[in-house]
Amino acid sequence: MACESEKWVLMVTAQTPTNIAVIKYWGKRDESLILPINDSISVTLDPEHLCTTTTVAVSPRFDQDRMWLNGREISLSGGRYQRCLREIRSRASDVEDEKKGIKIAKKDWENLHVHIASYNNFPTAAGLASSAAGFACLVFSLAKLMNVKEDQGKLSAVARQGSGSACRSLYGGFVKWIMGKHDDGSDSIAVQLADEKHWDDLVIVIAVVSSRQKETSSTSGMRESVETSMLIKHRAKEVVPKRIVDMEEAIKNRDFPSFAHLACADSNQFHAVCLDTCPPIFYMNDTSHRIIGCVEKWNRSEESPQVAYTFDAGPNAVLIARNRKVAASLLQRLLFHFPPSSDTDLSSYVIGDKSILQDVGVADVKDIDALPAPPEVKDNIPSQKYKGDVSYFICTKPGKGPVLLPDKNQALLSPETGLPK
């Protein structure tokens, strides 16, 4: 390092997607290293609609590590942040920026502090795996800043120590988190099964479900499941390994019926294990159940499954449609059953890729009231409408992995002060 008094600030900004598991991670065999009891497979979601943007900065002027999340300073004292920072620092290399006259030697990183600013382009509280995208982005951007030369797999093992599912956010497309065997977790890493172009027909609709309930955090929930569920071990040892093989095959062959069957069954089994926990954990609510009922009834009325559903540790439904046409039919059904509250306008009720609304023939909230009942509910109670039970829908698709944002305007920290803009 040239000199303590220098005023330079070196920054990196990156964007990292969130992901949704289609074969679920639930249960750790090592709490502090975050090592799972089974493999899991996820789909990376398009960062255009759901992502974290993080700017990391280093400067000799910084007197401590600091972090801001969505504009508010948060503590970095937690073990998970500390572990990620330590692991990345220990892998840092020499950095030289000739233009700015900056030279940081490998050994200097131990004594330099960082500023971190992170921003989610979706509501943090909505239960959409913000910690996965967040830790992945923290690790990815710090690794770039500190010139870490290890591959994405090794980085995924660092991100894993921040939040288990974060390791899967280091790749786009379809990703497997291999549970690994080693006690030190070095082989518990994510690998890409296929990139996002491999199966680009898929369209994803997320129903963000209104909820009055306080939810059990996934960290404490999965600990309680491991401690008390009589079914979780059987799931991890006997059921998941076969499903992983079958799901890899379904993805490889773009076999939607198998993909849908496995994803739905595995989501339901994860929630079954939650229910088998003592005390029981309920993440899905009546609205979640109704969405499943609607998809199951429709799938059965068709020749083969059109839509897969999966639910994480909360009531929100992630619905994967086999193609865009099916996604429009899906959104039509969802809007029919779950119209918005009277005070909600269409542009805030359906977000993300709004172009699907055109295929549905909905240009205004009034058009929702005019939607016909889907054919498969005709034999049933005429009005099965649950106004206001869904907060909003996000239309998206499988997406790419982490990227650097070289445009300095997208940085969240000031290049002069290293503080949030």
What values do phi and psi take at 219, rounded to 5? -60, -50
The CB-of-200 to a copy of itself minimum distance in angstroms stands at 28
- Cβ neighbours of residue 112 closer than 8 Å, sequence gap 6 or more: 1, 58, 59, 60, 62, 104
Hunting for tokens 């990183």 — which residue is that? 109
The CB-of-119 to a copy of itself minimum distance in angstroms stands at 29
**Smaller CB distance to a copy of itself: residue 168 or 271?**
271
Cα gap 245→225, rounded to integer Å: 24
**Smaller CB distance to a copy of itself: residue 156 or 299?**
299
Cα gap 344→225, rounded to integer Å: 38
- Cβ neighbours of residue 263 closer than 8 Å, sequence gap 6 or more: 22, 23, 247, 308, 309, 310, 320
What values do phi and psi take at 256, rounded to 5? -65, -45
> Rounded to whole angstroms, what are the CA distances from 64 to 5, 28, 91, 142, 361?
16, 32, 20, 15, 54
Pair 41, 23: CB distance under 8 Å:
yes
**Smaller CB distance to a copy of itself: residue 278 or 370?**
278
What values do phi and psi take at 330, rounded to 5? -65, -50
Segment holding 58, helix H or strand E:
strand 51-59
**Smaller CB distance to a copy of itself: residue 25 or 135?**
25
Copy the structure tokens of residue 113.
């502090």
Decide: helix, strand or coil at residue 5: coil
Hunting for tokens 């049933």 — which residue is that? 380
The CB-of-283 to a copy of itself minimum distance in angstroms stands at 10
Cα gap 181→413, rounded to integer Å: 40
The CB-of-386 to a copy of itself minimum distance in angstroms stands at 9
The CB-of-278 to a copy of itself minimum distance in angstroms stands at 6
- Cβ neighbours of residue 293 closer than 8 Å, sequence gap 6 or more: none
**Smaller CB distance to a copy of itself: residue 156 or 277?**
277
**Smaller CB distance to a copy of itself: residue 265 or 351?**
265
The CB-of-198 to a copy of itself minimum distance in angstroms stands at 27
- Interior angle at CA 132, CA 71 and CA 264, nearest 5: 135
* DSSP one-letter code for 304: S
Pair 401, 171: CB distance under 8 Å:
yes
Copy the structure tokens of residue 154.
């090794």
**Smaller CB distance to a copy of itself: residue 160 or 271?**
271
**Burial bucket for residue 279 (CB in 10 Å: 0-12, 13-18, 19+):** exposed
**Smaller CB distance to a copy of itself: residue 2 or 230?**
230
Pair 245, 297: CB distance under 8 Å:
no
The CB-of-29 to a copy of itself minimum distance in angstroms stands at 20
**Smaller CB distance to a copy of itself: residue 216 or 218?**
216
The CB-of-220 to a copy of itself minimum distance in angstroms stands at 14
Binding site for a copy of itself (CB under 8 A): 213, 230-231, 234-235, 238-239, 261, 264-265, 268-269, 271-273, 275-280, 282, 285-286, 289, 292-293, 296, 300
**Smaller CB distance to a copy of itself: residue 150 or 286?**
286
The CB-of-279 to a copy of itself minimum distance in angstroms stands at 4
The CB-of-82 to a copy of itself minimum distance in angstroms stands at 30
